[in-house]
Structures are given as C-alpha cells and as structure tokens.
Amino acid sequence: YHINVGHGNHSLIVFKVNNRVHIWMVDCSDYDFVSHRYYRANIDNCLKYIKQKFQLVDPIHIDVVMLTHPHYDHYSGINYYIYNKLIDKHTVAYVNLKYHIASHNYNNLLSNLNKLGLQIVEPFSCNSNKNIRILYPDIKTFNIRLSPNNISSVYNIWFDNQSYFVFPGDLEQDGWKLMDVTKCYPYMTHTHYYAISHHGSINGHLRPSVCPYKKRNNIKDCLCQHTVPVLMGRDKAFSGIYSSQVLADFNGRILYSEKDASNTPCSFLEIDLIANKWKWY
C-alpha cells in the first residue's frame, strides 16, 4: 500500500504467516510541508481498508518500521502512529543513529521511540536478514558528511526467495556511486517493483557511468523491463519534480501514489505483489 501523503513517502507491506497478519512500514509522512496540508485522512482510510480486507479483530499493529533517512517528508507521520498506539514497544524500528541533524522534529521522534523501549536496528547492510536486505549503506564505508538524501538506506524486501520491492528513499548520485554493486546488481535487476528515488527528480535517477555492469548511468538501465516503478510524492512540489527524463525513461510504466491511471487523485494505491495487480482507492 502506497498512501497519498502529498509530497512525501509512506508505504505499508501487509502479509500473512500461519494465519497471522503482519504489517511493515517503509517511511511515513503525514504532512505536506510545501502545501501546508495534513494527509491523515488518507492514512486512516488505508488502515480502515486493511483492517476490513484482512478481517482483523485486534487493533492494527505495525511490526516493523523502516526509515530510509531523516527528512520530514519521510518521518513526520511516525509520531501519529505512536500517538494512536499502532507503534509500541513490540515494534522493531530500523533507524540510523549515526547520522545527527539539528532538527527539533527529528530529535523529538527519536526521543519518543526511546520512550517506547522498542528494539532499534541500524539499517546497514550487515544487519540484513532473509526478508529485509539492506543494499546500502555499508557501515564500513558510511560517510557522515554526506547529505541526508545520500545516506538513505536502501531496503530490498524479499519473500519466498524473490525480490519484490526496492525502496531507495531519496538516494541521489553520490549515494548510488558508493553502493557496492555486487550487492546492488543482483537485486535491482530482478526486483518486481521499485520505488523511484527522490520523488521522481533527475538527481535520484542518475548513476555514475563507472558502474562496471554495462556502464549503466541511470536507474532505468539497472532494472529489468518487467520491473514496475512506483512514484511517490506530489508532482511540481519542487522544481524538477517530476523530471521529464524520468517519466520518459520509464515510458508509461509508472504507478503513482497520488493519482490513478486516469489522473484522478486517490487516497492510496494497493498492489497485490503475488497476483501482480494494482488498484487505486
């Protein structure tokens, strides 16, 4: 589920194991700071839909939170989930504690997570597991002087030995350049879905030409022709978003979180990863 939160990212992954439903979160914005508008109604609509579809009797609980990087349009809504008790001490949070920014909002989030006493996992490649593979960054080469976008953790979601989704946050060219291509190449080329980096701007789409695999210089060439790109964010929120080159490179293959195939605004996008079907609500 990719929720329309204006200029921001918010995704939920819902799956069932032994008749128990699990919900994972990748980034969570609830407020478009450019248009000064809250999108909590869309979040509530999606959560209500999930509860009904999966026939959940108990309140919704977020088992895992994966934060790509500390920008407000990726974390502003996490406190909303904490306030409503959907995130608690039993949640596992992937948060990079080695990157510090002078932001009251972000420090307030870290404080609230600590108060819950939940388990925090730092999202470096060494902390990957069979379902959540972290393609970047590597703790040994982590550069604290990079911009928040370029320290975005790249999450690769796996089920049943298949790469279903790659979430690169807002990774830009400097970050792509540092990625270990032996980790990146096998998973980027075989993933079913890919969340377009940095809200569809060109600086999240380019790769250095030094990439040893066929000298790829943009993300389009890293993905197979069957990979479906998903673009989260609001068009024209900033100059260069969405980039005409990004749209042209993916040539009509893009699914949007803010609008359906007829350009009608939506509340959220539902993707059935197994059936490879999607629908907007």
pLDDT digits (tens, 9 = 90+) for 224-248: 989 999 999 999 999 999 999 999 9
pLDDT at 135 > cutoff 80: yes
Can you tell me the mean pLDDT for 115-142? Answer: 96
pLDDT at 103 > cutoff 80: yes
Percentage above 70 pLDDT, the chain:
100
Can you tell me the mean pLDDT for 126-145? Answer: 94
Peptide bond into 242 cis (omega under 30): yes
Q: What is the pLDDT of residue 216?
A: 78
Kindly provide the b/e burial profile for residues 31-40, where b requires at least 16 CB atoms within 10 angstroms of the residue's own CB: bbbeeeeebe
Which domain CATH number covers 153?
3.60.15.10
pLDDT at 271 > cutoff 90: yes
Q: What is the pLDDT of residue 279?
A: 98
Quick: pLDDT tens for 10-21: 999 999 999 999
Q: What is the pLDDT of residue 181?
A: 83
State in Å, rounded, how far the first CA of the chain is from the last one.
10
Task: State which residues form the domain around 253.
Answer: 2-280
| pTM for the full predicted model | 0.97
Number of structural domains in the chain:
1
